Chain A
Amino acid sequence: MEKMIIINGEKYQIDVDSNMPLLWFLRDRLEITGTKFGCGAGLCGACTVHVDGVATRACVTPVGALADKKVTTIEGLSVDGDHPLQKAWVENNVPQCGYCQAGQIMNAASFLQQNPTPSSDEIDNAMQGNICRCGTYQRIKKAIADAADELAKEVS
């Protein structure tokens, strides 16, 4: 039986070495390149995607372990870049080079799912694994707080 994986709603056959990290299956096999390579060791968060809704480091997750799992990448986070976090990122002018931002947004999206009303310290704790060398942290924090407020409004 062929193993399948669902990425951004599309079914794909896992037709590579099952040890290949999801990151490289996405980038080199499927040429879905929004998910970035930063460290290859789960240290920087640039490759963060969602597996069944949970933030996961694609660079250390073998694709063979993801049969029938649902993977969401930055390209699939929203239909038109209108996820509350994406909007907050634009509103707060977060990115500089932008390379780490897909991972930042994906990590934050998963975090807000679990904790829709985070404190400043909780944002820090949740986002510590995502490095930004340009140093956009102040704006990232503000954007996450703003998105949380926005989500709270949508719920109420």
Chain B
Amino acid sequence: MSIANESRRKFLKASTLATGGLAISIHLPAHAIAFSDNAQESTFSPNAFIHIQDNGDVLIYCGRCEMGQGINTALPAAVADEMDADWQKVTVKQADGNEEKYGPQATGGSASIRVMLTPMREAGASAKVMLIAAAAKVWNVEPSTCHAQKHAVYHQASGKKLSYGELASLAAKQTVPETVTLKAKKDFNYIGKFIPNQNIEQIIKGQLTYGVDTKLPGLKYAAIVHCPVLGGKLKSLNDKDARAIKGVIDVVVIDRLAIPYGSIGGVAVVADNSWTAQQAVKKLNIDWDLGENAHYDTKKYKAQLVKNVEAPAQLVTERGNLTEGLTNAAKTLKATYTGGHLVHAPMEPNASVVWVKDDSCEVWAATQSPADIQKVLAQFLGREAKDIEVHVTMSGGAFGRKFKCDYVHEAAAISQKINAPVQLTWTREEDTKTGYYHSINAQHIEAGIDEQGNIKGWLHRVAFPSIGTLFNPAQIRPSDGDFSAVDNYPYGIENFRSESGEAKAHTRIGWYRAVYAIFYGFSFSSFTDELAYLAGKDPLTYLNQLYDNNTNPDQQEQAARSKHVVNLAAKKAGWFERDKLPKNQAIGLAVHYSFQSYVAMAVRVEVNDEDIKVLQVDSAIDCGQVLNVNGATAQMEGAVVMGMGLALRTEVTFREGAVVNTNFHNYPVMRINEMPQVNVHIVDSEHPSTGLGEPGVAPFAPALSNAVFAASGKRYRDIPFKPMSV
């Protein structure tokens, strides 16, 4: 691949490190990575993406946030590959929050690889060109007669060699190339290989620093209790008993900051350790005015959503003639699918350290979006975003939760009040009860098929409180944009209508790993399976028929790649030999395209009466050119675990406006004893690389549901199948 860009010079800059060596920084127009003119090497304010030291050590900064998804291994390894660096000599550092310098850092939507891979590979390739140019100058030969290999440049004819360390300072003086040629697949050293998580040695020794681990001289510790209902406020507070506890320093009331990612409002206690603060919070005597959402009850709300999708709703998209399609169909089918709220529950609860001073504000946070911290704190403190310094720590899981920085805003409010650095760590209970929840949802599908099973009409009604309500509280139904996956589902449906049902938000809604793909994947793959039975066809044969008969030119790639992964998963799972399974076992299939990646799952279950045991999952993925086989495989294994928890048991329940769940005993996430065998099959793809943090979650629940139906005849249309009553 050759990248030509007339204005590359504007975007790539090389500079000499103060310590000697080369620093390459790249700057792209929008969504980009900038350089600083100041090339001084300094510990806290690196000014470049790639640093090569005179001793050959390479430092690569990762601007995206790491939360276990492996981006700070995958992206730097791709850079190292392009520059023919020795990965053993590369150190990866998490960049501080600075989008001018590092490009977009908000880490979500499985977008890091899509957005950052090409610019970062170009940065690596440019470094290599300059290293080669430096060597050619030393040897007084043409650069084209030299080549780079494993941290050194070679001159073929003479057999001379100079290491990257030896060349670094001279390389910094070379011209930044106008164009770079990225490596061909056959030349990859690290891309597409199995690369260990670069944090692993620190993790197994307990040395990696997370959001909860920041320590500063004079650090104070805080705990908080939040207003239990969105929109409620503090009516009265008696903090006498809390203040009487030894070690308590102050009690701080935090008002709701009604901007996206601001605090919902609460009362915090500051002490000389977290435990004392937590104990003191329990002694607070608080009376809340719960406000207009005080009657929110998820059981009733879900029933209402079902009503809203089982009656005509607001038109979103119409193609062809649905009424005619359904009337002329040989057979019709209707089904309604529902799902509950979910909370992210990363193992590390929300935590950060903030130190607000008169002339500065410094933050250490487990976060997915340092720029949003800058924005929110700037607004709260009445300062410029650029004056909020954000150090991004490792996140102990995030899954979308740490995109929102309400917990950092709260730490800032406390620090400002007590004039000291503060670490605020939420308890598990607060983390569970004060979330940005995955939407509770209902979908109703009506479809008609002809004698062969071809779809003649499809009506799809959806109702869920939208994430858009975070930004526009007046929104009372899914927006048209929330329907893109529905409207473009790759069955080439000609007579189609989608409708949006009313669903006002009564709590904060947020992105949860895989987001809407969780329920869209569930409804489409479940309903397709139901249609296969209606048509009297084998579910895989039926899926292939739908893809093969899709004549919509805009959907050909999606149909072909979806078809490929689902057939791969089925074959690997033993789909064609499944008649040999015991009578109480069966395999279910599902495939879903989301975040531009394709994932299919074949789930094998054993069903004994009400007991569902997941035995094996074969997951097939097409994410374009895979970057790290280790990371991709790990994401699929993890997606099965998360998919299984939400399919079978986890649900957040609201009563009288507040969340009832509190901790892992009544939010029963999956544990090791239920872990099935997971096999991951990666398609050897030439397509551009796409992300995998989320796409694996969507197909699990429908594949499981389809498997359970095949094994037992029982069809689950409500997620979770077996909610714990709380």
Nearest chain A residue, comparing its CB with the CB of B671: A128
Would A134 and B397 count as touching, CB distance under 8 A? yes
Q: Which residues from 53 to 98 on chain A have a C-beta closer than 8 Å to any C-beta of chain B?
A: 73-75, 81, 86, 89-90, 93, 95-98
Task: Please tell me if the beta carbons of A99 and B348 are within 8 angstroms of each other in the complex.
Answer: yes
Contact (A136, B206) CB under 8 Å given A33-B212, A97-B394 = no
Is A116 interfacial (CB-CB < 8 Å)? Answer: no
Q: Report the separation of the CA atoms of residues A132 and B641 in the bound assembly, to the nearest whole angstrom.
A: 9
Known: A17-B246, A37-B349. A99 touches B671 (CB 8 A): no
* CB atoms of A97 and B396 under 8 A apart: yes
Please state if B68 and A40 are interface contacts (CB–CB under 8 Å). no
In the complex, the answer to whether B203 meets A43 with C-beta atoms within 8 Å is no
Of B117-125, B270-278, B479-487, B547-555, the one with at least 4 CB within 8 A of chain A: B270-278
Residues of A within 8 A of B634 (CB): 93, 96, 134, 136, 139
> A105 interface residue, CB < 8 Å from B?
yes
In the complex, which of the residues B205, B427, B670, B677 contacts A81, with contact meaning CB atoms closer than 8 Å? B205
Mark each residue of chain B from 179 to 204: 1 if its CB lies under 8 Å from any CB of chain A, else 0. 00000000000000000110111111
- Assess whether B69 is interfacial by the CB under 8 Å rule: yes
Would you call B77 an interface residue if the criterion is a C-beta within 8 Å of the partner chain's C-beta atoms? no
Q: How far is the CB of B508 from chain A (nearest CB, A)?
A: 20
Q: How far, in angstroms, from A84 to B297 measured CA to CA in the complex?
A: 50
User: Known contacts being A38-B428, A97-B347, is A90 close to B204, with CB within 8 Å?
Assistant: yes
Contacting pair B213 A33 (CB below 8 A): yes
B275 touches A135 (CB 8 A): no
Residue of B nearest to A104 (CB): B672
Residues of A within 8 Å of B276, CB to CB, are: 17, 20
Residues of B contacting A40 in the complex (Cβ-Cβ under 8 angstroms): 278, 427-429, 663
Instruction: Report if A98-B274 is in contact (Cβ < 8 Å); known contacts: A75-B205, A134-B397, A136-B637.
Output: no
The CA-CA distance from A123 to B202 in the complex, in Å, is: 25
Q: Is the interface of B mostly helix, strand, loop or mixed?
A: loop
Q: Which residues in A have their C-beta under 8 angstroms from that of B399?
A: 133
Which B residues touch A152, using CB under 8 A? none
- Interface presence of B673 (CB below 8 A): yes
B642 touches A135 (CB 8 A): yes
* Chain B residues, CB < 8 A from A98: 68, 197, 199-200, 202-203, 208, 394, 396
User: In the docked arrangement, what's the CA distance between A39 and B162, Å?
Assistant: 54
A16, A17, A89, A96 — which one has the most chain B CB atoms within 10 A of its CB?
A96
B665 within 8 A of A: yes
The yes or no answer to A124 lying at the interface (CB within 8 A) is yes
A136 touches B396 (CB 8 A): no
Interface residues of B in 564-607 (CB under 8 A from A): none
Q: Is the CB of A134 within 8 A of B68?
A: yes
B residues near A17, Cβ cutoff 8 Å? 246-247, 276
What does the 1/0 interface line of B665-692 toward A look like (CB < 8 Å)?
Answer: 1000111110101100000000000000
Q: Return the contact of B669 from the options A29, A86, A131 (Cβ within 8 A).
A: A131
Q: How many residues of A contact B (CB 8 A)?
A: 57
Contact A74 B205 (CB under 8 A): yes
Q: B347 and A99: CB pair below 8 A? A: yes
Say yes or no for A110: interface residue by CB 8 A criterion. Answer: no
Taking a contact as CB atoms closer than 8 A, the residue among A39, A74, A125 that contacts B673 in the complex is A125
* B208, B345, B630 pick with most chain A CB within 10 angstroms: B208
Asked if A39 contacts B664 (CB within 8 A), the reply is yes
Q: B215 at interface (Cβ–Cβ under 8 A)?
A: yes
A93 & B396 in contact (Cβ 8 Å cutoff) = no
> A28 to B274, Cβ gap below 8 A?
yes
* B663–A43 CB distance below 8 A: yes
Closest to B635 in A: A96
Contact of A128 among B345, B427, B639, B673 (CB under 8 A): B673
Complex interface residues of chain A between 119 and 146 (CB less than 8 A to chain B): 123-125, 127-141
In the assembled complex, which residues on chain A have CB atoms less than 8 Å from the CB atom of B206?
A: 33-35, 73-75, 102
Q: Which of A21, A29, A93, A128 has the most CB of B within 10 A?
A: A93
B425 at interface by CB-CB < 8 Å: yes
- The answer to whether the Cβ of B519 comes within 8 Å of any Cβ in the partner chain is no
Give A33's nearest chain B residue, CB to CB.
B213
Report whether A124 and B273 are in contact in the complex, using a CB–CB cutoff of 8 Å. Answer: no
**5 more A-B residue pairs beyond the given contacts A33-B206, A36-B347, A124-B675, with a C-beta to C-beta distance below 8 A:** A20-B275, A29-B273, A74-B204, A128-B671, A132-B672
The 23 sampled A-B contact pairs (Cβ below 8 Å) are A24-B274, A29-B273, A33-B206, A34-B206, A36-B210, A40-B428, A41-B663, A81-B205, A93-B197, A93-B200, A96-B68, A97-B397, A99-B346, A99-B397, A102-B203, A105-B204, A128-B672, A129-B671, A135-B639, A135-B640, A135-B670, A136-B638, A137-B672
Nearest 10 Cβ contacts at the A-B interface: A34-B206, A135-B641, A97-B68, A99-B396, A135-B638, A74-B206, A98-B203, A96-B68, A24-B275, A28-B273
